[in-house]
Structure 1
Amino acid sequence: MQKFSVPFGKEKVMFELPENKVAGVLVSHAHEYQAPKSEVELVADALANPIGSPQLSELAKGKKTCTIVSSDHTRPVPSHIIMPQLLAELRKGNPDIEITILVATGMHRPTTQEELVAKYGEKIANTEKIVMHVSRNDEDMVSIGTLPSGGECLINKTAANADLLIAEGFIEPHFFAGMSGGRKSILPGIASKITVLANHCSEFIDSPYARTGVLEGNPIHKDMLYAAKAAKLAFICNVVIDADKKIIAAFAGDREKAHYEGVDFEMKLAGVKPVLADIVVTTNGGYPLDQNIYQSVKGMTAAEATCKEGGVIIDVTACSDGHGGDAFYNTLKEADDVQKAMDQILARGRNETVFDQWESQILMRMLLKFTIIMVTKAPRQMVEDMHLKYAQNIDEAFKMAKDIVAARGITDPKITVIPDGVSVIVK
């Protein structure tokens, strides 16, 4: 028997499979990579040796204000390690600089005070000036140009009005932006809903280049690059993390040069070849990435790339925060026919995008090809409302999956396991 332990919220789900039933196990090499230095030292080295940029302390000289764009509670960015060093570097170059931390919530809910403390530590959470980005607050936005796609580029005025704009974040595979990090701190991180909706249009989501690990030719990535440049994002500090959310590499400096170097590093570790199977088990990497169904779609797309059409995806994801988006949930719930609902989305123009449409579109894309079973803490009714199947535990999920493929005449299904679906690039 082959034993597995996969992340589920802050816990683990354990299961065993006969060796002859396992088609493959897809794991990012980041999980076995041995970092040469401690997390603090890796970030310190990156800041001391920026890529394509002067040091942050030099950039701070002569500036009155600085805004640091910081990832929100849905991202496992180890800000408690990065942020103190960013603050120290800025004040080393300019002790009097006025610093604001702008939490890049994108289209997510605001981060709570408790989450801020967990993210930054008591001192920073309680003493630094922290502003929460709310994409729906039109009065907080400033226009800085027009995206290549034609949408208006509006970003938070706290960023637009800063003398120096920098960002912290992490680099991981992303299911339609190609890779996270870098320019993504601006769009969608601190962009207006108007800008996000234009960028996340059905046409772009439907593009074969809007896929995990793909940047070249990706129309969503192209818009994001423009937004970061127009916002005058001057410096980034991005990290790569392992399965334990520990930093294994850090990249600082120019918004594009440092990001691309980090992307190259991550791509070499995260790339895996598909192993086609009738049943694929995936996760969303545990907390904080599996807080809701909305985020869990990401882990499903890793399974999508290696599941045989008509097969079953088993998604082991806690979703203690529920569905993660009213519009997302309601779109699926109100869809009597998934194909018709998908056709309606695809018919919408770039400026007709509705909230959470992209997530609905990607989930529907998978539902039209596979059966998706969720092992989750989310309520059964909520799961089933969204055309997903609910299992109380992994054993029930396997039984359900085998019955589903057996109905198609497959009596000896093979199973591929992806212990951390958001950490791999399957291609």
Structure 2
Amino acid sequence: MDFPLGTGTVAVDLSDREVTVATPTGGEAVDVREAATTAVANPHGSPLSARVDPDATVAIVVTDVTRATPDDVLLDVLLDELQRIGVAREQVSVILGLGLHRPMTDGEIEDALGEHADLAENHDPDATVEAGTVEGCPIELNETVAAVDTVLATGMVEPHQYAGFSGGAKTVVIGAGGESQIRYSHGPEMLGRDGVRLGRIENNPFREFVDEAGDVVGLDFSLNVTHGPAGIMGASAGDPRAVVADLAGTAREALSVEVSEKYDAVVAGVGAPKDANLYQATRAATYVALGANNPLREGGRLVVPAALPEGAGEGTGEQRFYEWLSTADSAAELYEEMAQGYEPGAQRAFVVARVLREYDLWVTNSQHPAVVEDCLMHAAETVEDAIEPGSSVLVVPDALNTLLV
């Protein structure tokens, strides 16, 4: 069978193991431009024309290279609608919602935004202003976004470890925010609250915090999509909360797979863009082990084929992730230490440590096996090398877009 690896695949032979494959139904793909145009014309809440004055300055926050969002098409649809309303292109700024990830290169921006790349600027988390507070936490906002009259956002509504599903206000609050709200929302106290988990948006404290912060920063209108194995499965626009709820429903129906047994090993596929670095690729393992239904037996192992051309990752958050894991003596000690607090961006190390306390994590086929070994994980050349013959194996070809229930 083939597993995603980078932008391609790698062939894996598990014929001497007992294999079960968890493949969601996947839904049906839609034409992105058509679906986005229809969504903007029929939004949740009032139309864009009622929210934007023709003389207004507008900021559109888009996703970064870690999300497989068709931002070129979504941005084109939004700019067309703004032009129809009377908003000139010169009145619009586009901010790349990096959060604490590394800046995108000029080439990546051109690939992501096409003819609209000239409008874009990388978000700088050190160049923010305070927009208000939520739960006593200062909400910091990108200076360009804070200065405009109207704030719009694109986004990908996909399963998310903390928010349940990403998208909605998260693109602006985290992507174009400062360390303050990232520290608070991704800290051990928040991540330990009941309801903060993969696939859940109702009664999820993380999701509620992000949504309230979206009100504070003045997010006026979202245009989001959701995707699965078939491709982009739908688009939704308008009020951010309603957009997320709408597309989360589509995603749940398409991505859920029932699992009733426990397995010796789970192979979790990830592929590009998430396997660019170890920080992102470990999502595949934590989504499996910390989801609604953990399919691993006690002492089982997780196996993630990942290219890792960037090693641990190049952004502030990725480097903090690497520093915590690479200097730790054990997962148990690391988890206990991080439970006392950590810097924004390091939360992925905390979540990974939580999993590593119970399971071995093997990363295969990577360009940086030494980085993997530095981080309390195991490196192997192939998936076959990481799984003992005779093992019972659950294969999840697209772990980031599969909900095990």
- Name the structure 1 match of 2:402: 424
Q: Give the C-alpha shift of residue 52 in structure 1.
A: 1.8
TM-score normalised per structure 1:
0.88
- Name the structure 1 match of 2:282: 297
Q: Give the C-alpha shift of residue 187 in structure 1.
A: 2.4
- Name the structure 2 match of 1:21: 18
- Name the structure 1 match of 2:143: 157
- Name the structure 2 match of 1:132: 122
Does the CA-based 8 Å contact 1:64-1:96 persist in structure 2?
no
Among candidates 79, 98, 104, match of residue 71 of structure 2: 79
| Counterpart code for 1:159 | V
Does the CA-based 8 Å contact 1:279-1:416 persist in structure 2?
yes
5 Å-filtered alignment, 1:28-427, equals 28-30=24-26, 33-35=27-29, 37-54=30-47, 56-96=48-88, 98-121=91-114, 123-126=115-118, 129-135=119-125, 137=126, 140-148=127-135, 150-243=136-229, 246-274=231-259, 275-284=261-270, 286-304=271-289, 305-324=294-313, 325-348=318-341, 353-399=342-388, 402=389, 412-427=390-405
Q: Give the C-alpha shift of residue 216 in structure 1.
A: 2.6
Summarize deviations over 1:236-292 as a string: whole Å, max 9, x none.
110112336x322110111111221111111111222234211100022x1112111
- Distance of 1:378 and 1:366 partners within structure 2: 23
- Distance of 1:340 and 1:389 partners within structure 2: 18
- Distance of 1:165 and 1:326 partners within structure 2: 30
- Distance of 1:424 and 1:208 partners within structure 2: 22
| Counterpart code for 1:34 | E
Q: Give the C-alpha shift of residue 224 in structure 1.
A: 0.3
- Name the structure 2 match of 1:9: 6
Matched residue of 1:106: which SS?
A: coil
Matched residue of 1:154: which SS?
A: strand
Does the CA-based 8 Å contact 1:282-1:302 persist in structure 2?
no
Does the CA-based 8 Å contact 1:202-1:357 persist in structure 2?
no
Summarize deviations over 1:37-74 as a string: whole Å, max 9, x none.
522211111111112221x2443334420000100111
Q: Give the C-alpha shift of residue 169 in structure 1.
A: 1.1
Does the CA-based 8 Å contact 1:58-1:93 persist in structure 2?
no
Does the CA-based 8 Å contact 2:13-2:384 persist in structure 1?
no
| Counterpart code for 2:380 | A
| Counterpart code for 1:258 | V
| Counterpart code for 2:246 | E
Does the CA-based 8 Å contact 2:325-2:349 persist in structure 1?
yes
- Distance of 2:369 and 2:16 partners within structure 1: 32
| Counterpart code for 2:81 | E
Summarize deviations over 1:167-216 as a string: whole Å, max 9, x none.
00111000112111102112211110122111111122233422110223
- Distance of 1:364 and 1:109 partners within structure 2: 23
- Distance of 2:238 and 2:258 partners within structure 1: 32
Summarize deviations over 1:291-333 as a string: whole Å, max 9, x none.
1110112111233122112101111111111102221111111
> Alignment length, in residue pairs?
395
- Distance of 1:359 and 1:232 partners within structure 2: 28
- Distance of 2:265 and 2:276 partners within structure 1: 24
- Distance of 1:179 and 1:235 partners within structure 2: 18
- Distance of 2:132 and 2:262 partners within structure 1: 44
Gaps of 5+ in 1: 403-411
Does the CA-based 8 Å contact 2:14-2:384 persist in structure 1?
no
Matched residue of 2:401: which SS?
A: coil
Does the CA-based 8 Å contact 1:171-1:179 persist in structure 2?
yes
Does the CA-based 8 Å contact 1:9-1:287 persist in structure 2?
yes
| Counterpart code for 1:356 | G
Does the CA-based 8 Å contact 2:221-2:237 persist in structure 1?
yes
Matched residue of 2:399: which SS?
A: coil
TM-score normalised per structure 2:
0.93
- Name the structure 2 match of 1:406: none
- Distance of 1:19 and 1:239 partners within structure 2: 40
Q: Give the C-alpha shift of residue 6 in structure 1.
A: 1.6
Q: Which 4+ stretches in 1 moved above 4 angstroms?
A: none
Gaps of 5+ in 2: none
